[in-house]
Chain A
Amino acid sequence: MSEVHPAGIPSASRRTAVKILGAAAASTVLPRGASAADPIKIGLSAAFSGPNATAGEALQRGADLAMEEINAAGGVLGRPLALVIRDNEHKLDRGVAQTREMIEREGCVAMLGSQGSFIGLAVIDTIHELKIPWFALAVGGVGIIENGRKPNYMFRVATNDREVAKFLVSYGQEKVGGKSFAILNEDTGWGVPAIDDLRVALKGRNLEPASVDKMKVGDSEFTPQMLRAKNGGADTILTFSNAVEMANALKAGNKIGYKPKVLSAWGLANPTFPSLAGPLADGVMVMQTFTFVQNTNPKAQALFKRLAEKNRNVKDEMALPFPSYIGNAYDATHMIALAIKKAGSTDGPKMQAALENLGTYGGLIKSYANPFSADRHEALGPEDYSMTVWRGSRLELVA
């Protein structure tokens, strides 16, 4: 009964859809004879139904955008790229089974990874047995990357929970002027381990949390948690949580006259947050790796234009939820294409070696110089994190 998780109606077409994006367009520019080549498949197993569905769609958007560009430029090794999608419904068993099925049956040569750190941790064995690179794009679980394998097939183009915790604490102390911090995380495989990450980050600055609490997903009454934070004297709340729970916590805080500053991991980037929390959302800060809002990078602006042309509902930047996931998936897809090119092959071990020596790649989130090495499988670090803040219904960059 812990997570109220509707089964959703996974559409058959989505589950089985093999998207050959721009394959037709690519065939016109490919060298003679190569048009008949089979596409190189990259897998994306993520939650496309249930409460985490919008995050899955963001991952797909990012991968789609990158593949269109790669295929328009002739594909890789004369073959177009294709994205194979499965809905894992945010479930561990489905995530693991799909990963194996997509690699063994569909022949995917790299996997883009799901929401849910527990899924990332669970596929480590399968991935190392099948020797196919797996990319963490929407999860920060430390153990996914630091898994003790050599060679390591797990890569991350996303935030790392331990680094996020440090980032939130240092930002809270230095930029926001927080003196006393409360920890309020959701009661899940993401939020609970991050409690320790936050404790360690606070300890690193000789701080003890004013209160430490969990919010059960699906629960609506968080007055006790907010009372403890208030009575503990916390002026700032650090949180790894999602929009509904934190919105309800803020409403509970409002009732007891407690309006702390809030610094959050990516969860509160969900565009539904201001509609749920109302005016209480104003000023809540969310850490991100990428956003289209106020982004002056021409590459980001061009991508936004393409997304808006493709989808009539995308009227402004806020119509694209979880921009960090779009950015992460976009950059990871390009890195995979580069690795295949460099390896001259879609062989897993060769790609793994190529990824660890990729050279430079001018990406969307930043320009990467050797994003990965044999000891470093995190493409992004705290220096790449940016802070955004809710103002009305917009999540804006903090100047």
Chain B
Amino acid sequence: MFQLVLSGLALGCVYSLVALGYHLTFITSRTLNFAQGSAMMLGAVITLILVVDFNWPTLPATLVSILLLGVFGLALERFAVRPFVRRGSMAWVMSTLAVGIIVENVAQLIFGKSPRGLPNELAQDPVMVGGAGIYPLELLIPVVVLAIAVAARLFYGSTMLGRALRATAFDREASLAVGINVDWMIGLSYAASSMLAAVGGVLIGPLIGVSSHMGFLIGLKAFAVAIVGGLEHPLGILIAALAYGVVENLIGGHFGSSAKEIFGFGLVILVLFLRPAGLFGRTRLRRI
């Protein structure tokens, strides 16, 4: 039982990283980056290619991969989101999805069709925590998530750029009026969302294996927890993600792994039925 909770927490942290990406782009631009799952996969695939095929040490490979995903996010926003949002169209839903699918298939062509293992010393020998075994990497995952959360808080609170981002999220028109480059802020939020997903991919890769199709289901689950937690509530998303990881593991433990998705997504629907704005969201008053 405790064993399942522990593994579930690590998985939940990864969901939260990908899910926070949905949050970031939503607050700045009211758009969602549906290529998040693919960005996660790309982060893991690039790291694996650098580490295994080019013999890079893990840390620089990880950093390069995350930076590249930042560039990917900028490009995605510039070419697949901005043109549509400008015209007031919802086509960004389709275009981000399409980019995700294209990326997945290109990765399959380059990376190959079979899954591969991403070696990591932290995922070799388990340590015992309270009678349950866990890989050190699974313990590192929550630490990384916490560090990112603290860094984000500091960034938002005490840098010009962070404040500008917050202002954009708060009121787009007013931000434009005071001279904030809103386009650039939205681009940045896309870069940050892709980078978060990449971090998730690099962390989960050594535990479950890397393949060109690894991002789909995790991207979808992350979207579910983003909705359940409330798209505008980072803390809510974090809690929802951890809860989803744990609950899903416990369900798998008792009813078999085929029941996981049935109950997991079923629960999502139930929560949304009871609280349409998510667990922590407040229904917005609309002035008419």
Chain A residues at the B interface, C-beta cutoff of 8 Å? 1-2, 4-9, 49-51, 53-54, 187, 213-216, 218-225, 227, 243-244, 247-248, 251-252, 254-257, 270-272, 274-279
Contact = CB atoms under 8 A, between A and B. Distances in A.
A48 B25 CA distance: 37
B213 A6 contact: yes
Contact of B252 (A5, A7, A218, A219): A219
Contact of B209 (A8, A50, A244): A244
B105 A270 contact: no
Given A4-B217, A220-B207, A224-B252, A275 B257 contact: no
Across the A-B interface, give the 7 residue pairs with the lowest CB-CB distance, nearest first: A255-B133, A220-B208, A224-B253, A275-B117, A53-B113, A216-B257, A276-B117
Nearest to B128: A257
B3 to A, nearest CB: 6
B31 interface: no
Interface of B: 3-4, 7-8, 11, 52, 104-105, 108-109, 113-117, 119, 123-126, 132-135, 207-209, 211-213, 216-217, 249, 252-254, 256-258, 260-261
29 contacts: A6-B104, A8-B113, A9-B108, A50-B113, A51-B113, A51-B114, A54-B113, A213-B256, A215-B257, A216-B257, A216-B260, A219-B252, A221-B8, A224-B253, A224-B254, A224-B256, A225-B257, A227-B253, A244-B209, A247-B209, A251-B123, A255-B3, A255-B133, A255-B135, A256-B3, A256-B133, A257-B133, A275-B116, A278-B119
A109 to B, nearest CB: 30
A187 B256 CA distance: 10
Contact of A187 (B114, B209, B258): B258
A6 B37 CA distance: 13
B178 to A, nearest CB: 46
Contacts of A53: 113-114
B4 A224 contact: yes
Contact of A248 (B125, B134, B209): B209
Given A6-B105, A243-B115, 9 more contacts: A7-B105, A51-B213, A216-B258, A219-B252, A220-B208, A221-B11, A221-B257, A225-B257, A248-B209
A254 B126 contact: yes
B115 to A, nearest CB: 5
A187 to B, nearest CB: 6
B249 A244 contact: no
A219 B218 CA distance: 10
A214 B114 contact: no
Contacts of B123: 251
A2 B213 CA distance: 13
A54 B253 CA distance: 32
Nearest to B11: A221
B44 to A, nearest CB: 13
A51 B114 CA distance: 5
Nearest to A272: B114
A187 B237 CA distance: 31
A173 B122 CA distance: 36
Contacts of B253: 223-224, 227
A1 B104 contact: no
A255 B4 CA distance: 11
Contacts of A225: 257
A218 B217 contact: yes
A272 B117 contact: yes
A225 B105 CA distance: 32
A9 B107 CA distance: 11
A223 B9 CA distance: 14
Contacts of A275: 52, 116-117, 119
B223 to A, nearest CB: 14
A53 to B, nearest CB: 4
